[in-house]
Structure 1
Amino acid sequence: MAEEVRRVARVILLDPDDRILLLHGYEPDDPDVTWWFTPGGGVEGQETREEAALRELAEETGLTDVELGPLLWQRRCSFLFAGRRWDQEEWYYLARTARTDVALGELTELERRSVAGLRWWTSAELSAARETVYPTRLAELLRTLLDEGPPRTPLVLAP
Structure 2
Amino acid sequence: MTDLTVRRRTTARVLPVRPDGRVLLLHGWDPLKPDTTYWFTIGGGVENGETVADAACRELREEVGIELPPVELGTPLATNTIEFEYGGSRIIQAQTFYAVAVDRVDVTFANQEEIEQQTISEHGWWYGDDLEATGLAAHVTIPALLRQATDAITLRRAS
With the shorter chain as reference, the TM-score category is 0.7 to 0.9
User: Using the alignment, how far apart are the partners of 1:4 and 1:84 within structure 2?
Assistant: 7
Partner residue in 1 for 2:146 = 142
Question: 1:101 aligned to 2:143?
Answer: no
Please identify runs of 4+ aligned residues in structure 1 that moved more than 3 A: 144-147
Secondary structure of 2:135's match?
A: coil
1:19 partnered with 2:14: no
Deviates more, 1:44-53 or 1:137-146: 137-146
Rounded to whole Å, the distance in 1 between the matches of 2:93 and 2:117 is: 21
Alpha-carbon distance between aligned partners in 2 of 1:137 and 1:7, rounded to the nearest angstrom: 17
Choose from 99, 114, 130 the match for 1:125. Answer: 130
Structure 1: tracts of 5 or more residues without a match: 151-159
RMSD: 2.2
| Matched length | 147
What is the TM-score when the length of structure 1 is the normalising length?
Answer: 0.80
Cα distance in 2 for partners of 1:124, 1:102 equals 23
Kindly, what percent of the aligned residue pairs are identical?
38
TM-score with structure 2 length normalisation? Answer: 0.80
SS in 2 for 1:52: helix
Return the structure number with greater helix share.
Answer: 2
Moved more, 43-52 or 106-115: 106-115
